[in-house]
Amino acid sequence: MQIELAESLRDTRTGKEASEILGKCVHCGFCTATCPTYQLLGDELDGPRGRIYLIKWVLEKNECSERTRFHLDRCLTCRSCESTCPSGVRYGRLLEIGRDLVEQAAPRKRGEKIIRWVIRRFLGGPLFAPFLAIGHLVRPALPARLARQVPRRRSAGERPVARHARRMLVLEGCVQPAIGPNINAAAARVLDRAGISLVSSPNAACCGALSLHMTAVGEARQSIRRNIDAWWPLFESGVEGIVMTASGCGVTVREYGQLLADDPEYADKAQKISAATRDLSEIVDQSHPGVVEGAEAIQVAFHSPCTLQHGQQIRGKVESTLERAGFPLVEVADSHLCCGAAGTYSMLQPDISGKLLGNRLRSLQRANPDVIVTANIGCQVHLESRSEVPVLHWIELMDNPGTVRKTHR
Ligand code: SF4
Ligand code: SF4
């Protein structure tokens, strides 16, 4: 695809990067076939190829309309199209560039900006945990439909003390400590048995994905610099790397190097942090955990988050780890498709998100599993809001199959 960049973008790093990405697209449309929003809405502009044309127009003319933003907003950033594309088009990065330009060329209305600001502050801030605690208190009195929107109360159990020479950093994250406190605790226990201690920094917080999802790029970069400052002393003290227990955060941390490439003070550190980042499934897979007692009695359906299978291109590791541990996995159709959680998408695009959730749960529950497991807190909460069976992080199952309760809600 040929592109004539607008003058303001010529000779900029962003312009060059976008041109290079667009240059690989041959308009074949293979990506359209695996795009969840195109499948649902049937509009070319709600598929990757149509969105690529919209972004190309913005790059060339440096102008756009509300309609451009409307279609870009409806993209889940699931990156299923990247997995399908035979030409290696980095659609996710192109979308990031396109959304940023659109945000500047056609600013949102004030009300919309405020809503997006409130979501970022609320989910990434100190009010979230107390608010959730109130939700847990009033949940029994709420109508069933509303009660399902409040994530179940969970307890973490003990975390082992850091006693091994092998140490890895773990990110606690923003919403995960409140909604899923057992996830990092379970990861710490499983890795402790494998001779690896998990350590974390109290000064690290949201990975930046929350801001990136809502095109607050400057804000995301601030979060990234704060995390790098928090991690760097531990990094220099000999931790092996960073293990991510939420694939949505993992995909972002793996892109720190790219996101701070223009920052003379942080570019090098950001590259090193990204290179040292691993998904939990990669570490557990290498540690060869044995058979888990009681595993054979639990039928498991695995939902692979888009941020794991498309964003990080990690496939099959969770499944093989669970199978080696003795858990029978049921077949799940259309496993490449998004559940509709997609960061803050479920709040900003509830209709599309709800339809995708219904489709996904039908596939996941078709074989009557005892439990659905996934690898990202956002997917977990979203699936749980309508699932008939428990939904857990897969590491909780590896840690203790008893976490599964046969009756749910
Ligand atoms: S990221 Fe997902 S929703 Fe967006 S265009 Fe690609 S496949 Fe479609
Ligand atoms: S599959 Fe790749 S090359 Fe083909 S239209 Fe989609 S992005 Fe372009």
What are the DSSP calls for 105-173, one per residue?
HSPPPHHHHHHHHHHHHHHHSTTHHHHHHHHHHHGGGS-HHHHTTSPPP----PPPP---SEEEEE---
The CATH number of whichever domain residue 100 belongs to comes to 1.10.1060.10
Residue 376: CB within 6 Å of ligand 1?
no
Whether the Cβ atoms of residue 294 and residue 260 lie closer than 8 Å to each other: no
**Domain assignment present for 31:** yes
- Please tell me whether residues 172 and 238 are part of one structural domain: yes
- Please tell me whether residues 197 and 252 are part of one structural domain: yes
- Please tell me whether residues 318 and 260 are part of one structural domain: no
The CATH number of whichever domain residue 388 belongs to comes to 3.40.50.1860
For residue 84, the ligand 1 atom closest to its alpha carbon is 7
- Please tell me whether residues 327 and 341 are part of one structural domain: yes
- Which ligand places an atom closest to the C-alpha of 87? 2
Give me the number of domains the chain comprises.
4
Residue 75: CB within 6 Å of ligand 1?
yes
Out of 137-141, 176-180, 211-215, pick the least confident. Answer: 137-141
Radius of gyration of the chain (CA): 21
Whether the Cβ atoms of residue 111 and residue 72 lie closer than 8 Å to each other: no
Residue 369 CB coordination number (10 Å): 22
- Please tell me whether residues 399 and 298 are part of one structural domain: yes
- Please tell me whether residues 307 and 207 are part of one structural domain: no
- Please tell me whether residues 266 and 179 are part of one structural domain: yes
Q: What is the pLDDT of residue 289?
A: 79
- Please tell me whether residues 363 and 259 are part of one structural domain: no
**Domain assignment present for 153:** no
**Domain assignment present for 408:** no
What predicted TM-score, i.e. pTM, was given to this entire model? 0.93
Residue 76: CB within 6 Å of ligand 1?
yes
**Domain assignment present for 228:** yes
Q: Which residue's alpha carbon is at the smallest distance from atom 8 of ligand 2?
A: 25
Judge whether residue 409 has pLDDT over 70: no
- Please tell me whether residues 376 and 334 are part of one structural domain: yes
The mean of the pLDDT values for the chain is 93
Structural domain range at position 119: 114-147
**Domain assignment present for 152:** no
Within 13 Å and on the Cβ side, how many CA atoms surround 230? Answer: 21
- Please tell me whether residues 315 and 262 are part of one structural domain: no
Q: Taking residues 135-151, what's their average pLDDT?
A: 82
**Domain assignment present for 158:** no
Assign 406 a pLDDT band (cuts: 50, 70, 90): very low
Residue 15 CB coordination number (10 Å): 19
The string of pLDDT tens digits covering residues 93-108 is 999 999 999 998 888 9
- Please tell me whether residues 203 and 180 are part of one structural domain: yes
Question: What single letter denotes the amino acid at residue 46?
Answer: D
**Domain assignment present for 339:** yes
Residue 49: CB within 6 Å of ligand 2?
yes
**Domain assignment present for 44:** yes
Q: What is the pLDDT of residue 405?
A: 64
Residue 291: CB within 6 Å of ligand 2?
no
Q: Taking residues 51-71, what's their average pLDDT?
A: 92
- Please tell me whether residues 268 and 334 are part of one structural domain: no
The string of pLDDT tens digits covering residues 243-300 is 999 999 999 999 999 999 999 999 999 999 999 999 999 999 988 778 999 999 999 9
**Domain finish residue from 238, 257, 284:** 284
Q: Name the one residue in this structure whose structure tokens are 């973008």.
A: 9
Q: How far is CA 188 from CA 171, 309, 370, 399, in A?
A: 12, 23, 25, 9
The string of pLDDT tens digits covering residues 353-374 is 999 999 999 999 999 999 999 9
Q: 376's torsion region: left (phi>0), alpha (psi -120 to 50) or beta? A: beta
